[in-house]
Structure 1
Amino acid sequence: MTTLIRNVQRAVLAASAAAALMAPAATALAQTNEQFVALPSYRVGPYGANGQSWYGGFVDYLNYVNLKDGGVNGVKLSWEECETEYNNAKGVECYERLKAKNATTKGTAYHSMSTGISYALVDKTAADKVPLVMMGYGRTDAVDGSVFPYAFPLVTTYQMQVSAIVKYLATKNGGSLAGKKIVYLYHDSAYGKEPIVALQAEARLGKFNLVEIPVAHPGNEQGAQWLKIRQENPDYVIFWGWGVMNQTALKAAQKVGFPRDKMIGSWWAGSEEDTVPAGEAAKGYMSATWNVAGRGVPLIADIDKVVYGPGKGNMQDKNKVGSVLYNRGVSAAVVTVEAVRVAQEKFGKGKPMSGDQMRWAFENLNLTNARLQQLGATGLLPEIKTSCENHEGSGKVKIQQWDGTKWVVVSDWIEGNKNLIHPLFKATAAQYAKEKGITPGCMKS
């Protein structure tokens, strides 16, 4: 037995030595003429099913650009994933590991798909001069690029999203929610807490009664919360769930007899991963979204052909291609690659772009409907036009409803109340700048 243990130890040491010898070669490879994209992803844990679809779509699009176009102006895209398990500390560890993989790009742009990880990285990415991209999540006050030059809460922030949801509910009630009661049922984390200040402001303005009810991570225990909801008997439930919390809530709502068509979730509580497992309990439930589901989008159909045709797809379950979260991952990759293209137009075609050059690109995006149509991506996301003063670029959502088998869009684009929301995050951005000793100002090109 002792001899066996020694042999195993020698084998482990030999493997470690071999890995150490190979590490410089791997790093050198990443420093060739490639645009290396870091992916601090999660595909395991309580939110793993959501991460599998989102990152699967993201990786498939990068692969698609390489296969179809040979990269961006001849620069191939490369990437590496690091499993965070949706854990803040592991997210930081992955960031530190991945940024060293390529001295030029430093990872191009970081999509952590976690508000908590984003909060942990916002200072680090600024110090390292590489973009932190928070598409539909993260710090709302990072919209102010004069304070957060390297952070980009693109498309729509949580505060603008919840404002748009309130606007939608008001249209269902003759334009006013005065006297109504709304429960805000939320994931007790940075993600769930981020919209509260905006929702409280909407309640004061709209004169409706707001009841806030948190749910502890991961959210598979909600008996007490739904008992309180039954006692409160609200007109609507605005739901900020994630992962297993979502299907649990839908089943609990059915159990206590709360109508699902009076329940409207955030875009992270509006995917097939949430509704299919809930079965009949999900029918009629609504959520916000910025992207459509389905393979009817020309780009999604072409990815299916170009990437999955030769068997190079990232998704183990190909049936998820075209799902809400898969298409959302594709949309995030589209924005990232378009930013690489914009950077190359200014700093040199056919060259890998640095983190600082990518920051400029994300701050000067002008992704029009005409360009989205060229990409075959119409409907995947709204138009995005950014500036130093506006790192969000849109502020619009649509509302979708689950008909029992699929998501159906039931509204046009809805924009949150900018006059109400923007002063809120500008105030917190100013406070952040004061605490950190930052002098707000737009960076030069």
Structure 2
Amino acid sequence: MKLWKKLAAATALTVIAGGAMAEGLYAPNMAYRTGPFAALGIPLMNGQADYMTMLNERDGGVGGVPVDFSECETGYSTEKGVECYEKTKGTAIVTQPWSTGITLQVLPKTNVDEIPILAPGYGFSPMSEGGTFQWAYNPPASYWDGAYMIVSHIAGGDMSTLKGKKIAFLHLDHPFGKEPLPLLEQMAEEHGFELVPVPVGLKEMQNQSAQWLQIRRERPDNVIMWGWGAMNSAAIQEAVKTRYPMDQFYGVWWAGHDPDLAAVGEEGKGYKSISWSMPQPDSGLMADIKKYVIDTGKTQTTEDQLNSVFYQRGLVMSMMLAEGIKAAQEHTGNATIGPKDLRWGLENLNITDEKLAELGMEGMVPPFSTSCSNHTGHSGAWILEWDGAKFTQASDLLQADQSVIKSLAEAKAAEYADANAPWPVVECDS
């Protein structure tokens, strides 16, 4: 008998003995379906929710235990996010902050409350250092990974070609937008290019005329955009309006949203976004999503979202959580797990090509694994390019130089621990 069937049988016996339904696995998600970032939040949250709904409908949950994936709306507000954390932490097995600002606020709390943070592809990059950040996980790649890979792609893989170049860094003036600066500043000094930070305030997101006037004046060789929500679409439209060469314009993985480019169509051709996920419309997973979720009306997803970058990225994110739960169940032999168990599961993810094939997710995310010392996995990513109508893969799998990333992460993790002393740090064997 397969392990999940054994776990399900054990759960059923518990239910019968107790005379009531098991409560299941409470894995709340801090959603932002409202506010200035809702255009990105909605497809991401839909993808995450649909994956868990599919597991509940097809498999009875994870290991036969239903997953309660209730949402707590934050509107991307740090204050509301902390309120959601406090409201849910008592019974939740995980916290999913969905904002770098919220992540930074709850990070010290999770050490005390002993509940893991799962922040796929976002949050504080040094969280990769598992010995320091024992309860925080940001697979499959960090913002520093993404920034390095973008610069490497600009350089054509030869960093010496960057000498004398000028790169503008158009970023949201928020912890998320500032996150890559330490790495970019280090790379600029090491490789001899000029980095021009161009911050965009929250109130300026939809009116960036001043920022694009600065970009026109600076005449950078490339623009890297670290944007979110309404900022991205406004920036892309300003780039078109000012005739900035779109093939020299790169975005982080949150700046590769299909509708933002569809709004400019052919004029956006050449725009690029780094991405650790890749839509696969004909995958086995999408067939199951359609059968168990879409066709049965158990979704908030619209037909035009299904093959989009962000919706399918949401599916990948919930897969990481589900696989962490499975790993914890297998490790403990218990179907119903707690936060400490999930911490072990998230620390022992092993998403191989074979595992992706088993899940019907071939090509949707690069393989990666986590460990005590590596809470990110550093999967690598692809460059997606807008062809005038859709995003297409425009590179082989890129990788960040982990000797550069790790040395900076170790230094910043140590700084964080010192600034927040006494901060528990453990030694990891791997």
TM-score, reference length from structure 2: 0.91
Q: How does 1:106-255 map to 2 (within 5 A)?
A: 107-171=92-156, 176-217=161-202, 219-255=205-241
Pair 1:39-2:23 in alignment: no
Deviations 1:312-346 (A, max 9, x none): 1232x232112111111100100100111000011
Pair 1:374-2:364 in alignment: no
Match of 1:8 in 2: none
Q: Tell me the amino acid that sits aligned with residue 48 of structure 2.
A: F
Aligned residue among 94, 97, 107 for 2:87? 97
Match of 1:88 in 2: 78
Aligned residue among 393, 397, 418 for 2:402? 418
Q: What secondary structure, in the 3-state scheme, does the structure 2 residue paired with 1:137 have? A: coil
CA contact (8 A) 2:367 2:379 kept: no
Deviations 1:401-443 (A, max 9, x none): 0111111011111111212221112111111112221242148
Count matched residues: 411
Q: How does 1:2-17 map to 2 (within 5 A)?
A: none
Bigger mean CA deviation after superposition, 302-311 or 331-340: 302-311
Q: Please provide the CA RMSD for this pair.
A: 2.1
Q: What secondary structure, in the 3-state scheme, does the structure 2 residue paired with 1:291 have? A: coil
The whole-number CA distance in structure 1 between the counterparts of 2:362 and 2:97 is: 25
Compare CA radii of gyration and give the structure with the larger one: 1
Pair 1:56-2:57 in alignment: no
Aligned residue among 245, 248, 251 for 1:265? 251
Deviations 1:230-260 (A, max 9, x none): 1111111011111111111111111111111
Percent of paired sites with the same residue:
37
The whole-number CA distance in structure 1 between the counterparts of 2:78 and 2:165 is: 37
CA contact (8 A) 2:247 2:270 kept: yes
Q: What secondary structure, in the 3-state scheme, does the structure 2 residue paired with 1:230 have? A: helix
Deviations 1:140-162 (A, max 9, x none): 11111111100011111111110
1:81 and 1:174, CA in 2 relative to 1: closer, same or farther beyond 3 A? closer
Bigger mean CA deviation after superposition, 431-440 or 41-50: 431-440
Match of 2:283 in 1: 297
**Structure 2 gaps, min length 5:** 1-18
Match of 1:348 in 2: 333
The whole-number CA distance in structure 1 between the counterparts of 2:419 and 2:149 is: 31
**Structure 1 gaps, min length 5:** 1-28
1:313 and 1:182, CA in 2 relative to 1: closer, same or farther beyond 3 A? same
Match of 1:358 in 2: 342
The whole-number CA distance in structure 2 between the counterparts of 1:92 and 1:36 is: 18
Bigger mean CA deviation after superposition, 329-338 or 427-436: 427-436
Match of 2:384 in 1: 400
Deviation at 1:37, TM superposition (A): 1.0
Q: What secondary structure, in the 3-state scheme, does the structure 1 residue paired with 2:149 have? A: helix
The whole-number CA distance in structure 1 between the counterparts of 2:239 and 2:328 is: 48
1:95 and 1:439, CA in 2 relative to 1: closer, same or farther beyond 3 A? closer
CA contact (8 A) 1:188 1:216 kept: yes
Deviation at 1:172, TM superposition (A): 7.2
Q: What secondary structure, in the 3-state scheme, does the structure 1 residue paired with 2:68 have? A: strand
CA contact (8 A) 1:157 1:395 kept: no
CA contact (8 A) 1:243 1:274 kept: no
Match of 2:368 in 1: 384
Bigger mean CA deviation after superposition, 281-290 or 332-341: 281-290
The whole-number CA distance in structure 2 between the counterparts of 1:275 and 1:31 is: 47
Q: What secondary structure, in the 3-state scheme, does the structure 1 residue paired with 2:71 have? A: strand
CA contact (8 A) 2:368 2:379 kept: no
Deviation at 1:293, TM superposition (A): 2.3
CA contact (8 A) 1:41 1:113 kept: yes
The whole-number CA distance in structure 2 between the counterparts of 1:363 and 1:95 is: 21
The whole-number CA distance in structure 2 between the counterparts of 1:329 and 1:442 is: 33
Q: Tell me the amino acid that sits aligned with residue 345 of structure 1.
A: E
1:442 and 1:340, CA in 2 relative to 1: closer, same or farther beyond 3 A? farther
The whole-number CA distance in structure 2 between the counterparts of 1:431 and 1:187 is: 24
